[in-house]
Amino acid sequence: MKLSIPKEQYPAESRVILTPEVASKLIKLGAEIEIEKNLGQDLYLDSEYQQSGAVIQPNREILLSQADIVLRIRKPSLEEISKLKKGCAHISFLDPFNEEALIESFSKYGISAVSLEMIPRTTLAQKMDVLSSQANLAGYVAVMLAAGRFEKVFPLMMTPAGTLSPAKVLVIGAGVAGLQAIATAKRLGARVEAFDTRPVVEEQVHSLGAKFLKIELGETGQTQQGYAKELTREQLEKQQDAMAKFCSQADIIITTAQVFGKKAPRLITNAMIKGMKRGSVIVDLAVESGGNVEGSELGKETVVHGVYILGYENLAGRVSLHASQMLASNLYHFLETFWNKEKKEFVLDRSHEIIQGCLITHEFQIVNETLKALVKMNT
């Protein structure tokens, strides 16, 4: 079975989906690995992949057309989907709820499309949870970016010239990224507060040494996948009103709130930013899905009312070596779980809950029940 890995073409993508170490492990399972020339970008040389047993293919079209499985990080172009052979499996991030034309194209050409972000976030699938591994790094990077932009020090300092107060950090959203942001800010010596609509995370916030802010919003909670449930318009307005005070006292705000498959909720308004101290910093981790912060721009740093708003994309890619290692490990565990060791091939076991969760199209049809229900609801 031939596994082909094309080079990422998205300009802001610095990660790779496969490392030489994981390539070697897959080859030991019986896979043939073929990679596009210069796949490793600045992280790995072609010779390192060759030493692991992989074959270098300089022709991208041949690479794609001969693949039994295509592995990549970013979603493909519609043109590239048409070049894949019928029955090929394509595994990558796909953003299926917002890519109708892409999903239709996979179905049209008979491609088995697997969406990495749709892998169920369960204990069984923990080792293949790409969202958690990358969010963990993004939370760390967010704090480091804020520290680099902030014009004061993070920790309390007693100096001959006087005492320097610690930075006040507010983290909105205590999921994987938020919890790592809390831990990183605490290590740097900041005073940290956190807010989340899910009361269940309060204990985790306290365990990291941060204060958990409570806002009475009525009924909230989390989905079976562990995501925060979408708030009503009234709840959002109530949250914004209460958050204005907390924001005005913060030096740094990290926002991480996202609703899976939907546009990110707007949590920080222009009026709230106006009430913040000049020189404060906001890092919007949800900018790629619409943004939590009014005035944040994808891939840019903006200044609003004297407050720096960082809307950089792909934060995990700023620590691309570790991000790539984690992605490759996630991918290996996914492939190895469904690898038939006798036939030496990957098997799409559609009776398995993990495959049911992440398989989007198969045999010229949309097969994912969640996506099918959404399509039916919108038609």
Q: How much is the CA Rg of the chain, to the nearest whole Å?
A: 22
Euclidean distance between CA atoms 65 and 43, whole angstroms: 26
Euclidean distance between CA atoms 121 and 33, whole angstroms: 28
Residue 156 backbone phi and psi in degrees, to 5:
-65, 130
Question: Is 68 annotated as catalytic?
Answer: no
The answer to whether the beta carbons of residues 282 and 255 sit under 8 Å apart is yes
Euclidean distance between CA atoms 245 and 329, whole angstroms: 42
CA 180 to chain centre: 13
Question: Is 227 annotated as catalytic?
Answer: yes
Question: Which residue of the set 14, 112, 129, 324 is catalytic?
Answer: 129
Euclidean distance between CA atoms 313 and 291, whole angstroms: 11
Question: Which residue of the set 4, 112, 115, 132 is catalytic?
Answer: 132
Instruction: Round to the nearest angstrom and report the end-to-end CA distance of the chain.
Output: 39
Question: Which residue of the set 68, 227, 248, 318 is catalytic?
Answer: 227
Question: Is 129 annotated as catalytic?
Answer: yes
Question: Which residue of the set 77, 82, 126, 249 is catalytic?
Answer: 126
Euclidean distance between CA atoms 132 and 299, whole angstroms: 22
Question: Which residue of the set 121, 198, 240, 308 is catalytic?
Answer: 121
Give a three-class secondary structure readout of 217-235: CCCCCECCCCCECCCCHHH
Euclidean distance between CA atoms 97 and 366, whole angstroms: 12
Joined together, the tokens standing for residue 280 give: 């404060």
Euclidean distance between CA atoms 359 and 168, whole angstroms: 43
Q: Tell me how many degrees the CA angle 30-33-36 measures, rounded to the nearest 5.
A: 175
Question: Is 318 annotated as catalytic?
Answer: no
Q: Are strands 112-115 and 168-172 parallel, antiparallel or unpaired?
A: unpaired
DSSP letter (8 states) at residue 127: G
| Type and span of the H or E element at 126 | none
| Cα four-point dihedral sign 101, 106, 110, 112 | negative
Q: Where does residue 334 fall: left (phi above 0), alpha (psi -120 to 50 degrees), or beta otherwise?
A: alpha
Residues known to be catalytic: 121, 126, 129, 132, 227
